[in-house]
């Protein structure tokens, strides 16, 4: 088994390598003067089971192109099996046609990864579960819920917890977390999104008065939805609000927005590397390296991955 790193999240790859007690495969990923990406693998990978770790986060197009070229280089170097480990799968929010004459970019990216030569894909908390069906190769979707629930139970045991979904689409995710928290009550924020990146809270479905609210989502981008939801929950009588999100995209002024918000804390995972998030007082990061490392180990050993979540 070999572990190869792209440039998007070196810290996560080092932690995965430490968990697996495995060196990172020597490779050179660099750019020419015109920004073309060039990859050279500096050790023999013939007949090896290779895992390429790369989040396709900002800059999304550069990181996507990088992982495609890494996969092609491995295929041409005669690797036996190539698994694209994408802790954060970019373009996942473009998983349907929201209007006429629009693309389904998540399917296009899935096609690119497959055609490049990947034999398998491993990701964490895909924005929509059906994206697994966009790939014509085996795809494993891991869940960060066990990592988050363990942290919540360790820090907030004894509180009157209510799990809150920031929108109707995230109810299944919120219910799964609530089940792990001894079947905690569930509430839903009913919001209206007039345009991308902007949302308005309309109603709160469920009783949150006197409760400690845990907002749960897969992606925090502009953070507008979470901050508006936190303010609405406090206005409805919640005693405090903490948000847990798997992927901290945190674009634009998101970090500053979180710092000024009613949120007590925003907890994200290290699926995306962010210096701004690391320096923020209200943002804390959980590592998913052991989760990814164990899944990689089980895939290499041909053992069950789903049993990780039993």
260 a catalytic residue: no
Q: What pTM, to 2 d.p., does this model score?
A: 0.93
Collapse the DSSP code of 274 into the 3-class scheme (helix H, G, I; strand E, B; otherwise coil) and give the result. coil
User: Is 272 within 8 Å of 128 (Cβ atoms)?
Assistant: no
Indicate the pLDDT class of residue 310, thresholds 50, 70 and 90: confident
Tokens of 213: 């609210």
The reply, when asked if residue 34 is annotated as ligand binding, is yes
Q: Matching CATH topology for 2-142+290-309 and 145-287?
A: yes
Nearest Cα neighbor of 189 from 235, 130, 126 is 235
Nearest CA among 49, 53, 41 for reference residue 13: 53
Instruction: Kindly tell me if the per-residue pLDDT of 199 is higher than 70.
Output: no
CA 180, CA 26: separation in Å to the nearest integer? 40
Nearest to 271 by CA among 298, 299, 291, 295: 291
The counts of H helices and E strands in the chain are: 9, 14
Confidence at residue 18, expressed as pLDDT on a 0 to 100 scale: 97
User: Annotation-wise, does 301 bind a ligand?
Assistant: no
**Count of beta carbons in the 10 Å neighbourhood of residue 45:** 20
pLDDT tens, residue by residue, 81-133: 999 999 999 999 999 998 999 999 999 999 999 999 999 999 999 999 899 99
Catalytic residue (one of 14, 97, 191, 282): 191
Overall fold of domain 145-287:
Rossmann fold (3.40.50)
Encode pLDDT of 172-189 as tens digits: 999 999 999 999 999 999
The first and second tokens of residue 257, run together, are 């927005």
Copy the structure tokens of residue 278. 């690391």
> Per-residue pLDDT tens for 249-303?
999 899 999 999 999 999 999 999 999 898 999 999 999 999 999 999 999 999 9
- Annotated binding residue 175: no
Q: Would you say 275 is a known binding-site residue?
A: no
| CATH 3.40.50.2020 describes domain 2-142+290-309 | yes
Residue 127 annotated as binding site: yes
For the chain, the domains span 2-142+290-309, 145-287
pLDDT digits (tens, 9 = 90+) for 43-82: 999 999 999 999 999 999 999 999 999 999 999 999 999 9
């Amino acid at each position: 088994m070999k572990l190869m790193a792209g440039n998007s999240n070196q810290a996560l790859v080092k932690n995965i390598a430490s968990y697996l007690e495995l060196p990172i495969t020597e490779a050179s990923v660099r750019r020419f003067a015109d920004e073309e990406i060039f990859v050279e693998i500096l050790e023999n990978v013939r007949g090896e089971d290779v895992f390429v770790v790369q989040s396709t986060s900002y800059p999304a197009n550069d990181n996507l192109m990088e992982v495609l070229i890494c996969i092609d280089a491995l295929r041409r170097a005669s690797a036996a099996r190539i698994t694209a480990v994408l802790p954060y799968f970019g373009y996942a929010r473009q998983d349907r046609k929201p209007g006429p004459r629009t693309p389904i970019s998540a399917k296009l990216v899935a096609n690119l990864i497959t055609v490049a030569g990947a034999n398998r894909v491993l990701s964490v908390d895909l924005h929509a579960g059906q994206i697994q069906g966009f790939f014509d190769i085996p795809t494993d979707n891991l869940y960060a819920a066990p990592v988050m629930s363990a942290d919540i139970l360790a820090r907030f045991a004894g509180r009157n917890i209510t799990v809150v979904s920031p929108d109707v689409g995230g109810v299944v995710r919120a219910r799964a977390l609530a089940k792990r928290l001894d079947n905690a009550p569930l509430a839903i924020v009913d919001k209206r999104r007039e345009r991308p990146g902007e949302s308005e809270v309309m109603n709160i479905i469920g009783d949150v008065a006197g409760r400690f609210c845990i907002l749960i989502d897969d992606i925090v981008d502009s953070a507008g939805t979470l901050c508006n939801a936190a303010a609405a929950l406090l206005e409805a009588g919640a005693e405090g609000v903490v948000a847990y999100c798997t992927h901290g995209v945190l674009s634009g002024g998101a970090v500053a927005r979180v710092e000024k918000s009613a949120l007590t804390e925003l907890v994200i995972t290290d699926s995306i590397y962010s210096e701004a998030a690391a320096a923020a007082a209200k943002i804390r990061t959980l590592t998913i390296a052991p989760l990814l490392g164990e899944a990689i180990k089980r895939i290499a050993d041909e053992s069950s991955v789903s049993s990780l979540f039993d």
